[in-house]
Amino acid sequence: MAKQQTFAGEAWRRKGKVTRRERFLAEMDSVIPWDRLLGLIRPHDCAPSGQGRKPHDLEVLLRIYFLQQWFDLSDPAAEDAIYDSESMRRFARIELGDDKVPDESTILRFRHLLEREGLTEGIFEVVKALLDEKRLMLRSGTIVDATIISAPSSTKNKTKSRDPEMKQTRKGRNWYFGMKLHIGTDRRGLVHSLTATHAAASDISQLEALLHGEETVLYGDQAYWKEAHREAFEEAGVRYRVNRRAPGGNRKQTESWKRINRARSRTRARGEHPFRVIKQLWGFTKTRYRGIAKNLARAQTLFALANLYTVRKKLMPPGATCAL
C-alpha cells in the first residue's frame, strides 16, 4: 500500500524548482545497482527476528550510508539531516508520517557491519563489474596517482595521542600528517585499483598493487619513475609513459624531456579527476576515523560512487527524469 503523503511532502512535491541536490540524488539513485548491492549485504545482516523492535530496512540504511559519503556526515549528523532535508528523506525512502528514522546508533552499527565484513570492498567490486559489463571501463592502459588525506594532529582526545597509524611527510615546503590513498585508473579516470598507506610511504611502493595486468601503456608522475621499471615494462610490451625524472633534479631536465612530460601529463591528469570528486565535491579531505582500515573502507565506497558519478549520464535510463 502506498505511503500516505504528509502536508510537508505534498508542498515539497508542488514546488516549482528542482534543486541541484535533488537533481544529483535523483541521478545517482537511477544509476546505483541497488539489487546487486543489497544482494551483497543481505547474507551478512544479523538483524533480530521475531519479537522485539522491528529492524530497519537494509535499503534504507544503505541509502543513508551513501548520503553520509556524499555530504560528509557523521553518524549523528546523518540522523539530523534526515529530519531536516526532504530531498534526503525522499532519497532514503523515508516518510515521516509512516516510517521511523534510524537513530545514530543504528547508522553506526550498519557502518561497522560494512567495515567488519569487508563489504565496502565488495561495493567497489560490484560497481567495477557493472562498468565492465557496460564496457565503460577501459582495460588497455592504467594511470597511477596518489593523494594525501590529512589526519587530526591534536592530542586532545581520550587517548591523549595522535593516531599511531598515521605518519608525517613533506610535500614541497609543507608538512602533512595523515594517510595516503593510491589509485589506478583507466584512461578515462575510472578507478579500478585502490590501496592506502601512511602518508610517509612512497608512491612507487604501491605500483604493483595498482595494476590489473592487462595494461599496454602506463602513465604516472615523476614519483613513479624508475629506470629498472621502464626496462621491465618495455620488455613485457607495455609502453612506459611515466614522466621522466632527471638524475640531477628537474632543474637539469632537458627542454625536449620537459615537452615530452607535458604531453604525457595531458593524459596522466585524468587520473586526478577521482580525487577532485571525493575531496572537493564530497569533502573527504580529512580522516574521520582512527586507523587506516576504517578510512580505506570509506574511500572504497567513495571511489565506487565516484565511478558511477563520472559516467552517470551514460548509465541513466533513456528518458529518465531528475526527480525523487
| Half-sphere exposure for 10 (CA within 13 Å, toward CB) | 6
pLDDT at 154: 82
Q: Does residue 15 carry a pLDDT above 50?
A: yes
The string of pLDDT tens digits covering residues 296-319 is: 999 999 999 999 999 999 998 876
pLDDT band at residue 322, thresholds of 50, 70 and 90? low
* CA neighbor of 185 nearest in space, from 231, 223, 217, 233: 217
Q: How many CB atoms lie under 10 A from the CB of residue 178?
A: 24
pLDDT of residue 10: 62
Residue 293 CB contacts under 8 Å (≥ 6 apart), including other chains: 115
Provide the grid cell at 4.
500516505
The pLDDT value given to residue 318: 76
**Per-residue confidence (pLDDT) for residue 246, from 0 to 100:** 79
Non-local CB neighbours of 185 within 8 Å, separated by 6+ positions: 142, 143, 144, 145, 191, 192, 270, 271, 273, 274
- Domain positions in the chain are 16-117, 138-291
Q: Of 260, 188, 176, give the one whose Cα is nearest residue 225.
A: 260
Find the angle CA(67)-CA(54)-CA(93) to the nearest 5 degrees. 30
- Convert the pLDDT of each residue in 42-77 to its tens digit: 998 766 554 545 567 899 999 999 999 999 999 999
Band (1; pLDDT cuts 50, 70, 90): very low
Could you give the C-alpha distances from 214 to 60, 74, 218, 311, in angstroms and in order?
38, 39, 11, 22
pLDDT at 2: 45
- At 155 the pLDDT is 81
Say whether pTM exceeds 0.75. Answer: yes
Q: Hey, what's the cell of 161?
A: 595521542
Give the pLDDT of residue 95. 87
**φ/ψ of residue 64, rounded to 5:** -65, -40
Nearest CA to 57 out of 99, 88, 26 is that of 99
Q: How much is the pLDDT for 133?
A: 95
Chain center to CA of 116: 18
Residue 247: per-residue pLDDT: 76
> Is the pLDDT assigned to residue 128 strictly greater than 90?
yes
Residues in the chain: 324
Q: What are the tens digits of pLDDT across the range 80-121? A: 999 999 999 999 999 887 778 999 999 999 999 999 999 999
pLDDT digits (tens, 9 = 90+) for 245-263: 877 666 678 889 889 999 9
The rounded mean pLDDT for the chain is 90
**Which pLDDT belongs to residue 298?**
97
Longest dimension (CA), the chain: 75
Q: What is the pLDDT of residue 100?
A: 86
